[in-house]
Amino acid sequence: MSLIGSFALLLALALAAYSFLAGLFALFQRDAMGARIAETARRAGIAAFVAVLLAAVVLVTSAFHDDFSIAYIQQHSNRDLPAAYKFAVLWSGQEGSLLFWSLLLSGYGFVLRLRYKTDQRLFAYASVVIAAVQVFFLLILNVAAKPFSLVQGMVPPDGNGLYPLLQYPEMVIHPPMLYLGYVGFTVPFAFALGALIMKYPGEKWINITRRWTMVTWCFLTIGVFLGAHWAYAVLGWGGYWGWDPVENASLMPWLTGTAFLHSVMMQEKRGMLKVWNMLLIFATFLLSMLGTFLTRSGVISSVHAFAQSSIGSWFLVFIALTVAVCAYFLAANISHLKSEHKLESLVSRESSFLFNNLLLLVVCFTILWGTFFPILSEWVQGHKVTVGPPFFNRVAVPVALLLLLLTAVGPLLAWRKTSVESLKRNFLFPLIGSIAIGGMMIVFGVRPWQDPSFFYATMAGVLSALVIFTIVSEFVRGGRVIAGKSGQSLPAAMIHLCHRNTRRYGGYIVHFGVALVVIGILGTPFNKEVEKEMGFGDKVSLGPYTFVCQSYTMEDNPNYGNEWAIINVFRGGKQVTTMYPERRFYKSSQQPQTIPRIYPSFREDFLLVTDVYLVYEGRNEETGRPIIKAHLNPMVPWIWTGLIIMVFGTIIALVPNAVPVRVTATVPVQEPAHVGAGD
């Protein structure tokens, strides 16, 4: 099996290299022969996908067949690993995840090369850029991180097993989503670089890549949030975002990608920001690579330590080369990107996009700066410092709040110029509503003057409400106009409105999701927790809840042994649920793992929903009594609800606009008048 896999990877490298070199040659050979060579390059790119797919299939099959002669399978799988996790072995280690990255990249390349007829010349350039990136990854797979290396000496009877933290259903989805996002940005990057090199006229490359970028952005969003949810549901510390360098690495391309999605609208509508958009998509691609570099190199200490090795230097060289190539072509062809920048008013959609881009980039810079500051500190001061959550919360949160303000204000500003009357008309109701929300928060006990975190929570509440109210008022205003004209009900008219301009209203829905996510985050300062040793019948109270330990039970399966606590949860004297926090001990890796249980109180609280979060932490070594930790995390479920809405909004934005219906009206033809001779 390993021979087939190794051969497939070698073949894939040869095909990708041919696709790159022949494609490059054909770009300069503009005759019939050049066209023929270009076609062979395109087909080689397609064949490279088949070869990489074969290698991936071989690796997964080896995991299912418990082929521990392959070192990677021996290190990341074991005989009793459930089938879903055997599939996840593909991306659970260094070599496998690079193979998976290669597979996705080849898959994107495959689709791109099949759709080449849209614009053969531009697609040929993009295909060459993608082939170059493919060559890089396949070189690593064939030289530095071989997934099919064989075990030295005797083949062990069983494997080490999958890292326990990864044995969770979300881990089967989170990495593919994140990788689809990271890798996907290669496509708009390839088109942008191709368009720059060939001095492609007009904005067509943006139209071609718009859907790619949105889909990629959506995957990255899902990946980032699934990662946060995994941290919340598995790590057992009651939080979902720890500002770990690898978490930061996933957020940075998301931020620049979001900026790009906004600023391309300026290029499409007004032909502005051509250089800026190039820079943004270059930065997004490079930050995706940087994320991989951070995960692989171990240059910065992170909890994501399960995939570290020395291949970081490969990525560093690749990033440096990419920067050099991008900088060269940008400098050489910048005159091609000149555009007529003319603004009529400071209060316009254009200005809001500029400030939106600025704030997104400042947040991105802050995260990049904070992530790399420990290295800088070591160079300058001779010792590392920690840049942890207090830094990011204090520095990035205020800028993020400004961004939220712009999310509320920006969409209601008109292109070119917004009149004062229009501002008043659009903002009066949302402003009053959001101020009322702020007042209610103070009435219900949030004291913004007591603590900076309470101040930020209040501001986040007010601004999220402003975002939601402005979106609702936009939908209602547009819906009313359509309802007035067509006689439809208001909800039907709003759906019709959405269908008429899916991109605009899909975008509003995404903003609504973002506001919900912020509402979910603002509950953090009000988290509560308690930890107690609990025997049978012991009680512990936290907020309005009382937890009563009913029993403990143990189970055993071939993969792990586990112990469950059975905790009855009461509120106001009434039992609301029973929870089963669990602690596992994985046999092959000899590692313990907590599995917290979470109960969102939608039934009891609805809008002010709280997560009841129980962790069975283990037994006190001295007394032997089990330790239970309970958290109350207000509003957290809104974060995951917000994600669903963001994804829904993106899907809406991807749907083509409704084409105006052509109705053939029958006009009665009048009898031609008979003209008599005497008339």
Partner 1 sequence: MKPLRPTLRRSLHMTIVCAAVFLFMGAGDDARFNSIGHRMMCVCSCSQVLLECNHVGCTYSDKMRNQLLAALDKGDNDDLILQGFVQDYGPTVIAAPTATGFNRVAWIMPFVALAFGITFVIYVVRSWKNKPTPALAGGIVIPTGGELDTLRERARKETDQ
Q: Which two tokens stand for residue 428?
A: 């009066």
Neighbours of 496 (CB within 10 A): 16
Closest approach, Cβ 386 to partner 1, in A, equals 5
User: Which one of 169, 202, 389, 558 is in contact with partner 1 (CB under 8 A)?
Assistant: 389
Which position has the token pair 């009651």? 238
- Looking at 331-419, which runs of residues are DSSP E strands? none
555 and 651 in contact (C-beta within 8 Å)?
Answer: no
Binders of partner 1 among residues 237 to 296 (CB under 8 A) are 237-239, 242, 244
- Is residue 373 part of the contact set for partner 1 (CB under 8 A)? yes
Note whether 631 and 238 are within 8 A (CB).
Answer: yes
User: Of 39-47, 57-65, 297-305, 550-558, which part binds partner 1 (CB under 8 A)?
Assistant: 297-305
The CA dihedral of 297, 73, 225, 322, to the nearest 10 degrees, is 40
Measured from the CB of residue 349, what is the shortest distance to partner 1 in angstroms?
Answer: 12
Residue pair 183/101 in contact (Cβ under 8 Å)? The answer is yes
Q: What is the largest CA-CA distance in the chain?
A: 125
Residues of span 615-654 touching partner 1 by CB under 8 A: 615, 617-619, 621, 627, 629
Q: Which is nearer to partner 1, 301 or 551 (CB)?
A: 301
535 part of the interface to partner 1, by CB under 8 A = no
Restricting to residues 580-619, name those near partner 1 by CB under 8 A: 592, 594, 615, 617-619
Identify the CA nearest to 364 among candidates 396, 339, 386, 332: 396
Q: Give helix then strand counts, H and E, for the chain.
A: 20, 10
Q: Which residue has the tokens 């005159």?
A: 335
Closest approach of Cβ 574 to partner 1, in Å?
A: 29
Stretch that binds partner 1, among 86-94, 138-146, 324-332, 378-386 (CB under 8 A): 378-386
Measured from the CB atom, the residue of 661 and 669 that comes closer to partner 1 is: 661
Nearer to partner 1, 362 or 566 (CB): 362
Pick the binder of partner 1 from 6, 256, 267, 302 (CB under 8 A): 302
Examine residue 523 and tell whether it contacts partner 1 (CB under 8 A).
Answer: no
Kindly identify the residues of this chain, within the stretch 106-165, that bind partner 1 according to CB under 8 A.
none
Is 365 one of the binding residues for partner 1 (CB under 8 A)? yes
Of 22, 387, 413, 518, the one binding partner 1 (CB under 8 A) is 387
Q: For residue 119, give both structure tokens.
A: 């614009």
Question: Rounded to whole angstroms, how far apart are CA atoms 556 and 518?
Answer: 41
Residue 424 near partner 1 by CB under 8 A: no
Whichever of 289 and 396 has its CB closer to partner 1, that residue is: 396
Q: Name residues contacting partner 1, limited to 214-243 (CB under 8 A).
A: 235-239, 242
Between CA 407 and CA 239, with CA 634 as vertex, the angle to 5 degrees is 85
Helix (H, G, I), strand (E, B) or coil at 163: coil
Contact 666, 656 (CB under 8 A): no
Question: Which tokens go with 572?
Answer: 């106001």
Q: Residues near 84 by Cβ (< 8 Å), separated by ≥ 6?
A: 169, 172
Question: With respect to partner 1, which residue has the nearer C-beta, 570 or 585?
Answer: 585
Applying CB under 8 A, the site for partner 1 has a residue count of 63
Q: Which of 14, 299, 325, 395 binds partner 1 (CB under 8 A)?
A: 395
Residues 6+ apart with CB under 8 A from 478: 493, 494, 497
Among 143, 323, 346, 608, the residue binding partner 1 under the rule CB under 8 A is 346
- 521 contacts: CB under 8 Å, gap ≥ 6: 460, 635, 639
Nearest residue to 559 via CA among 595, 584, 596, 582 = 584
From the CB of 356, what's the least distance to partner 1, in Å? 10
Q: Give, as one character, the DSSP assignment of residue 92.
A: T
Residue 541 engages partner 1 in binding (rule: CB under 8 A)? no
Is 425 among the residues that bind partner 1 (CB under 8 A)? no
Q: Residues 76, 84: contact at Cβ < 8 Å?
A: no
We find the least distance from the C-beta atom of residue 548 to partner 1, in angstroms, to be: 22
Secondary structure of residue 69 in the 3-state scheme? coil
In the complex, what is the shortest distance from the CB of residue 176 to partner 1, in angstroms, rounded to a whole number? 25
Out of 115, 199, 211, 394, the only residue in the binding site for partner 1 (CB under 8 A) is: 394
For binding to partner 1 (CB under 8 A), which residues are involved? 235-239, 242, 244, 301-303, 340-346, 351, 354-355, 358, 361-362, 365-366, 369-370, 373, 377, 380-381, 383-391, 394-396, 399, 414, 416-417, 419, 447, 449-450, 478, 481, 485, 592, 594, 615, 617-619, 621, 627, 629
